[in-house]
Structure 1
Amino acid sequence: MERIEKDTFGEISVDASKFWGAQTERSLRNFKIGADKMPLEIIDAFAFLKKACAVVNVSAGKLSEAKGKAIKRACDEILSGKLDEHFPLVVYQTGSGTQTNMNVNEVVAHVASEKSGQKIHPNDDVNMSQSSNDTFPTAMHIAAYQRIQQELLPELDKFERVLKEKKEAFMDVVKIGRTHLQDATPLTLGQEISGYEAMIRRAKRFIEESSKELLPLAIGGTAVGTGINAPTGFGDEVAHELAKLTGAPFISDENKFFALSSHSPLNFVHGALRSLAADLMKIANDIRFLASGPRSGIGEISIPANEPGSSIMPGKVNPTQCEALTMVAAQVMGNDTTIEVASSQGNLELNVYKPVIIFNFLQSVKLLSDGMRSFRMHTLDGLQANEQAIKEKLENSLMLVTALNPHIGYEKAAQIAKAAHENGTTLRAEAVKSGFLTAEEFDEWVDPLKMTNL
């Protein structure tokens, strides 16, 4: 069955079981582009926002208590997840997000009218004192900040904690270092992992600090930033109400013209996400290199065998979690480029690439959170040191000769290393043969553990 809805363009039929109205229906018909829907995180952010606006409009005497109560109840129903099916619009729509704002207005109005028995208008009541131009960027900041706080930062804490545990467990396992993918001086496996731990700790700090830029909100700017049709102080009061509703310290942006036309805060914060992606790419690559083998690679660490690795080579186990995490990192780097380009398109008073910015931003947060969780649970937790392989490679390395530099000089030490390499002998044998030092001196000076400065 269908019902007839009306807007300024006239009548249009809508599936009677759906709660949206004419403008949502027109968007559905006009923008059949891809399968990517507007993220539900944005819908939830809008529900918080519409609820806060209703509270402030009632307080300002612009909206009746009864209508305000009905709107708030409808917003709570959206936040419960019961109405998700009524938000069908794709990302690739109007660049201001107007159609998603109207989708929310129409659904809230429909539910509020039905439950209260009075007529609630999507524009005059639900969208009172607002414009799509200030509500959508406000919802963008709410959604982005909440997902970082509730999803990404907790996983970063867990990821860092596991790295700390592995660092401490392997702090005394001396191994050969590698720079330029070539043998270098020794360090411990724990020291190596401490570098990863520091990367994650700093990435977390970068994200925490930069995400504070998401707290100022555009609401109150209405159409172009002047605040036309909004009561005095509306932005401040709505931000205060949102802070109470969400528990996040949102404030009103001091310059609404900036807040509508620029998305540099989201671009800036995503730069911190891109930096995290780069660190995760490095960590995952290092681990799969160190775990290569089992017999013909480096093989200094073992990672869990989670599933068969090959459809043709029996018994093969691949570093699949490393591969998945590096693909996540690559996607986030691509998202960063999209966000950067889209953020540059703030033409005159309004950026009209808003939906694609927030879609890619939220995807990055989700992928990073899920990717780290999967990698932590299925690789990091089960990572083990292959101490025999580590010992063999350490003892066979020519770079231990570096410990002789302070005693016999760089050139003589280089002669010993070159001779050992050419003759296929040990450093100790060539050192004694050279006459530059005794066997006892070699044993005293070439101590891999001492070379780590632990």
Structure 2
Amino acid sequence: MSYAERSREYYLETGTRFPRLIIWAIGLVKASAARANAELGLLDEGLASCIYEEALRLSQGLYDYEVTVDVFQTGSGTGLNMNVNEVIASHARKRCNREVHPNDHVNMGQSSNDVVPTAIRVAAYKAVSNLVIPAARSMASSLRARASEYMELVKPGRTHLRDALPVTFGMELEAYADALEGDATMIERGLREAPGGPARRHGRGHRP
């Protein structure tokens, strides 16, 4: 019995599946690991190539229907990691016409505790880079354009729901624009942070 089948016995079954962006990202993680393991001489080139190609196909959405574990499962994401390992191994086995083990080969040198956080960060990086940051900067630009129109419109300032010194409506819009620009910059800096290492950071199952 596969891990995905066992997980349906032991964990919640809400029908909520992992979003496409997460599957895209974890496929890239598995493809990258296969290539790295080949370069380290831990997997032979033929086997690594099969795993790499099938991981990319998973990333492209060709096997989404086989990623069946519920999003509500273990805290470490082991269910997702093992489900993906089994899907890739199954298709790599057909491609190579040889034994491909989901844990010993596809998951070589990896742990759910680094695979899943890395996939989350890769997915978040794409979503934030392509959607959040551009949206924040576009909004800031729109606010600045409006601010110039209302720079002479004086209104009471407000502090703790009480009237304060007068400001212009344009000044308030400029302040919101500055806040959005600052947030976008801080998010960009946060994108540079790297995930941690292998399981519990003790290095087991991991080559330096």
Q: TM bucket by the smaller chain?
A: 0.7 to 0.9
Correspondence 1:6-21 to 2 at 5 A: 12=1
Match of 1:61 in 2: 41
Q: CA deviation at 1:176?
A: 4.2
Query: How far is the alpha carbon of 1:108 from its aligned partner?
Result: 0.8
**Is the partner of 1:120 in helix, strand or coil?**
coil
Q: Does 1:218 align with 2:196?
A: yes
- Does 1:114 find its partner at 2:90? no
Residue 189 (1) aligns with residue 153 (2): no
Matched to 1:218, the amino acid is: G
Partner residue of 2:32?
A: 52
**How far 1:138 moved relative to its partner?**
2.5
Q: CA deviation at 1:167?
A: 1.0
CA contact (8 A) 1:102 1:122 kept: yes
Task: Point out where structure 2 has 5 or more consecutive residues left out of the alignment.
Answer: none
Residue type of the partner of 1:225? Answer: R
Deviations 1:362-386 (A, max 9, x none): xxxxxxxxxxxxxxxxxxxxxxxxx
Contact 1:34 1:90 in 2 (8 A): yes
- Local SS of the residue matching 1:224: helix
Larger relative contact order, structure 1 or 2 (CA cutoff 8 Å, min sep 6): 2
Of 222, 227, 230, 2:203 maps to 227
SS class of match (1:74): helix
* Aligned match for 1:83, one of 57, 60, 63: 63
Q: Which residue identity does 2:202 align to in structure 1?
A: T
Kindly tell me: are residues 57 and 182 of structure 1, through their superposed partners in 2, closer, same or farther at Cα, counting changes over 3 Å? closer
Structure 1 residue ranges, 4+ long, deviating more than 6 angstroms after superposition: none
Look up the SS of the partner of 1:212 in the other structure: coil
Asked whether the 8 Å contact 1:135–1:218 carries over to 2, the reply is no
- How big is each residue's C-alpha offset from its partner over 1:60-84, in whole Å with a ceiling of 9 and x where there is no partner? 2221211111111111112212222
- Report percent identity of matched pairs: 35
Classify 1:66/1:186 alpha carbon distance in 2 versus 1 (closer, same or farther; 3 Å). same
The 1-side partners of 2:112 and 2:163 are apart by 59
Answer yes or no: is 1:154 the counterpart of 2:134: yes
Q: Shift of residue 165 of structure 1?
A: 1.2
User: Counterpart of 2:201 in 1: which secondary structure?
Assistant: coil
Amino acid aligned to 1:90: D
How far apart, CA to CA, are the structure 2 residues paired with 1:88 and 1:192? 49
Gaps of 5+ in 1: 1-11, 13-21, 234-454
Q: 1:197 Cα shift?
A: 0.9
Compute the RMSD of aligned alpha carbons: 2.2
User: Are 2:12 and 2:73, in contact at CA under 8 Å, matched by a contact in 1?
Assistant: no
Structure number with greater Rg is 1
Secondary structure of 1:82 counterpart: coil
Per-residue deviation, 1:179: 4.3
Deviation at 1:180, TM superposition (A): 4.7
Q: Secondary structure at the match of 1:228?
A: coil
2:143 counterpart of 1:167: no
With the length of structure 1 as denominator, give the TM-score of the two structures: 0.42
Cα deviation, residue 112, structure 1: 1.6
CA deviations over 1:342-364 (Å, ceiling 9, x no partner): xxxxxxxxxxxxxxxxxxxxxxx
CA distance in 1 between partners of 2:108 and 2:165 (Å): 68
Q: Judging changes above 3 Å, is the alpha-carbon distance between structure 1 residues 190 and 116 closer, same or farther for their aligned structure 2 residues?
A: same
- For residues 225 and 173 of structure 1, the distance between their equivalents in structure 2, rounded to whole angstroms, comes to 58
Q: Which amino acid aligns with 2:204?
A: I
Distance 2:6 2:126 in 1: 31
Residue 207 of structure 1: how far off its partner (Å): 2.1
- Structure 1 distance, partners of 2:175, 2:83, is 48
Residue 307 of structure 1 corresponds to: none
Q: Residues 181, 62 of structure 1: CA spacing in aligned structure 2 closer, same or farther, 3 A cutoff?
A: closer
**Is the Cα–Cα contact under 8 Å of residues 133 and 184 in structure 2 kept in the other structure?**
yes
Rounded to whole Å, the distance in 1 between the matches of 2:51 and 2:103 is 12
Could you say which residue in structure 2 is the equivalent of 1:70? 50
Question: Who is 1:376 aligned against?
Answer: none
